[in-house]
Amino acid sequence: MVFQDVVLFDDTVMENIRLGKHGASDEEVLAAAKAANCDEFVSRLPEGYATPIGENGAKLSGGERQRISIARALLKNAPIVLLDEATASLDVENETKVQGALSRLLAGKTVLVIAHRMRTVEAADKIVVLKDGKVAEEGSPKELYANESGIFRRMADLQSANASWSV
């Protein structure tokens, strides 16, 4: 499971990742961390993977905390993965890094994604759009986008238009 709000403990980066698989070797943890794009930010920490990260990862950014969560999931290597708004609170730069890590995590797995960002679901085999707790639409992204009056199409178009905004 990879959730929007990551739970981390007042321990080292290494031990927070190791929670994904009890008894994992350091080599397994480091391989998962590398696949989750953790090396980039961990290399800047004073003690690398041995750096304590504070209560709930207080010394890390949201994107860094999310990549630790993905490293845990990679280490666990479960056949089914649940992503619950895994990129919702990230800026564009961190979302890109997290999306790269997610693509490695999800390869060959059954994935259930809960998301509002169309970018998160654009490669899905099937999308189920909920409205008021009921199924409003379902199909492939291409099929749903073809429905000009559909909810999915409206959300995709709005998000696409918003992408070009600047302040």
Query: For position 3, what pLDDT does the model report?
Result: 82
| 21 has a pLDDT exceeding 90 | yes
Give percent above pLDDT 90 in the chain: 52
Domains plus CATH for the chain?
2-115 (3.40.50.300), 124-167 (no CATH)
pTM for this entry? 0.76
Q: In what order do the strands lie in the sheet with 2-3?
A: 2-3, 80-84, 110-114
Work out the pLDDT band at 45, boundaries 50, 70, 90.
very high
Predicted confidence (pLDDT) per residue in 104-142, tens digit: 778 888 988 888 777 778 888 899 999 999 999 999 999
Whether 17 and 38 have beta carbons less than 8 Å apart is answered as yes
Query: For position 37, what pLDDT does the model report?
Result: 87
Give CA 78 to chain center in angstroms.
15
| 31 has a pLDDT exceeding 90 | yes
| 152 has a pLDDT exceeding 80 | yes
